Amino acid sequence: MAKPIISTVILNWNRSHLLEQTLQSYIDTVTCPHELWIIDNNSSDNSQEVIERFLRTYPQAKAIRLKENMGGEAFNQVIAQLSGELIYLCENDQIHMPGWCEKALHAFQSYPWLGQFSLHAPVPTDAEAWVTKPVKPRFKNGCLVYQLFTNVTTSCLIRRTLFEKGLRVRNIPNENSAIKLPDDGALGGDIKSMNYWIAYSDHYYVRNIGHEAAEIESNPDYYLPNYEAKTMVGTQELGRRVALQKRLGKLHRQSVIFPEEPVLGELSSQGVGELAPRFWSMFDSRTPEVECVELIHSLVRLKKPSNVLETGGWRGYTTVAIAKALTANGFGKVVTLEDDAHANPYLAERIAELRLDNVLLRNEKSDRFNNTEHFDFAVFNSSYEDQEEEFLHAVPFLEEGATVVFAGERHDKHAIDSRPKTYERLGMITGQYFPTPRGIYVGTYHRPASPDTRRTIFGLSSGRSGTAYLTSLLKGLPGLIALHEPEPKYQWQTLPLQNNAEHARKFVSGPKANWINQLPDATYFEASHYLAKGFMETWVEDCKMVPDAIIIERDPRKIASSWYGLNVDFFTAPSYVLQHMLHPEDKRQLFLPLKNWKALNNYQLCYWYALEAQKRNAYYADYLTSKGGKVFITSLEALISGKDVIPLMEWLNIKLDEEMTSILMQRSKQRINDKNQFKNANRLKSIKEMDLDALEAAVLEQCRTSE
């Protein structure tokens, strides 16, 4: 007999009618080598008869009857005897459906640090009196799972290695109740403390009968005491969940375009009016809601476009819906942009299997793609962090009158929080919202006329000082286009600039100025710490445009610590430093030359760079002022505290009403640091052990010597 891959332990306490279904459904659907244990927690009903009858048919299964109800801790009785790579803890109310075994194996094979996996989905079925859990989608090797940061129920699969490290199931401590319930939260917390993560499946591979309202109402003597013992839920909350289920139970969840695909209730945390999110449906949490996908399909059928642009193909539901509509129309093609390393090959395979010859899948970022033809229909559907930049990048490729669809746009946002409302104010689109939990906007594109003159503002810093934060603060303000390091980017030009000073002129007066000139009549703000590293003079002297500037200052030690934490190495990775920062041997002009730089360590060189950038920005403040430009100097701290927010708005000539002021003050408190995830924990720790005062003093002395 093959060694088990999955060791399953079914824990039973009463509910014999459910136990019988659980056992039979398990045997009917398990497809990999396995072993099965049944533990009875001293049931008082006819559970023992059900178990004995099952064992006569499946004698390879093993059963234990405990002399007392041990609650969830009963699982621990057999953990040491299990031999499977995966331990499946299963309660007696799980009705298994075909495919559960394959899904579990696929998930654990695809994600080495997945520790605990639930065969349930994060959104309850319409039969369940349960709640939606906040999650994050992960997609790899064609396997979609939902990582969550709280916990799943006890019925789950766990890597055996975690039990070998001491993991065990505990009961909820509750002195006021004799009922013993497994402590799911403690189990999940212990798994996360071992540096593993927890996930739900993409849809239900088991029916969780014990959560279904009909089952709860049919057996109140069993369930009500259980929920009274669950102090975090209680019977009052149970009643609310049952009431919602009775409304949701009348829904018919099936996609017209993809009738065979499983769909869930919508995952969003916010509904529309009095309707909960689960009144809508979804394929997954990144594809637009099922209703929105079908709306896009209908719009393509109605509008009869020739060339469709789609950003963010993801798992292909919207792509296929568009392609099917184009096929039904008899003409047209869709260009789909998807650069995710896991989604792109999956989508390519799906397109090939369906023989969709009207789909051109391009492995390109949506803020960098180029095209020779114009589009008369565009669906902005990606998870790209800055969809405003994505849309503005597409502007040169859109036909006048093109239909534009923005998926994931809430209809009830304030104007400065809504991208479509911003574009409406700029005269770029007119259209209508359709209220859904995630939102969708359908509009018509109007090509803007380039202004004769434009106020241009550049945000200057040393990097790691808040330009992304500042851009986020300014998003959507009336008459302002605010972008952080948009394409075409300066950073791709810094290495060529080392060998050819003319490169800055060709880039700025060519692709950069051409792109900005295609934008509508509005103040243009671009934040980029690369601007002051060889490009500013070109704007002034060659393009005859004197920009204004917002300069963000920050304590040099904080800047240096941040760069150092990002693994910056002046010795072994000079090309990175030359592209993103400045190097002591840089061929561009240095404002703070450093001769004996090899005598310093990497932290000291990061500190030198912060001082150099500080001196450089001070120079450009004087330079622009002397040319007639206006300069606003602030700091990250002054913005976060709110101290400089209103003065900055006055400097920008933006009039605020009470609601806009409130939103800006809320925004100002939201820190944005998208590179924290890349920082080296060992380096951050080592900073605390350094004598920074002495190291920095040595840098200052070196700078004085170099002068």
328: left (phi over 0), alpha (psi -120 to 50) or beta: alpha
Which of 426, 445, 464 represents a domain boundary (last residue)? 445
Residues 536 and 389 in one domain: no
121: left (phi over 0), alpha (psi -120 to 50) or beta: beta
Q: DSSP readout, 124-137?
A: --TTB------EEE
CATH code for the domain in which residue 40 is found: 3.90.550.10
SS (HEC) of 200-224: ECCCCCEEEHHHEHHHHHHCHHHHH
Residues 316 and 437 in one domain: yes
CATH code for the domain in which residue 681 is found: 3.40.50
Residues 517 and 614 in one domain: yes
Helix ranges (DSSP H) in 30-99: 47-57
| 440 lies in some domain | yes
CA distance 16 to 218: 14
| 336 lies in some domain | yes
| 257 lies in some domain | no
Residues 209 and 351 in one domain: no
Per-residue pLDDT at 707 = 64
Residues 558 and 595 in one domain: yes
Among 168, 129, 121, 171, smallest CA distance to 148 is for: 121
Residues 549 and 640 in one domain: yes
Which of 229, 244, 259 represents a domain boundary (last residue)? 244
Per-residue pLDDT at 452 = 80
> What's the burial of 268, exposed, middle or buried (CB within 10 Å: 0-12/13-18/19+)?
buried
- The pair of three-digit structure tokens given for residue 43, joined into one six-digit string: 């049931």
User: In angstroms, what is the C-alpha Rg of the chain?
Assistant: 30
CA distance 513 to 539: 9
Residues 17 and 113 in one domain: yes
Per-residue pLDDT at 673 = 63
Residues 298 and 235 in one domain: no
- The pair of three-digit structure tokens given for residue 648, joined into one six-digit string: 């900055």
Residues 570 and 694 in one domain: yes
Phi then psi dihedrals of residue 470, to 5 deg: -60, -45
| 411 lies in some domain | yes
Residues 485 and 405 in one domain: no
CA distance 427 to 430: 8
- Other Cβ atoms closer than 10 A to 317: 25
Residues 72 and 138 in one domain: yes
Residue 548's beta-bridge partner residues? 457
CA distance 234 to 171: 17
| 267 lies in some domain | no
| 262 lies in some domain | no
CA distance 102 to 365: 33
CATH code for the domain in which residue 324 is found: 3.40.50.150
User: Cis (ω within 30 of 0) for the bond into 488?
Assistant: yes
Which of 244, 271, 306 represents a domain boundary (last residue)? 244
| 261 lies in some domain | no
Per-residue pLDDT at 36 = 98
Segments in the chain below pLDDT 50: none
Phi then psi dihedrals of residue 13, to 5 deg: -145, 105
Residues 300 and 337 in one domain: yes
- Amino acid letter for position 343: A
CA distance 422 to 663: 15
Number of compact structural domains in the chain: 3
DSSP state, residue 74: G
Pairing of strands 440-445, 398-407: antiparallel
Instruction: Tell me if 315 sits within 8 A of 323, measured CB to CB.
Output: no
Per the listing, tokens 């090509």 go with 447
- Other Cβ atoms closer than 10 A to 12: 28
> What's the burial of 94, exposed, middle or buried (CB within 10 Å: 0-12/13-18/19+)?
buried
Residue 440's beta-bridge partner residues? 407, 434
| 283 lies in some domain | no
Domain, as residue range, for 340: 290-445
Residue 264's beta-bridge partner residues? 282
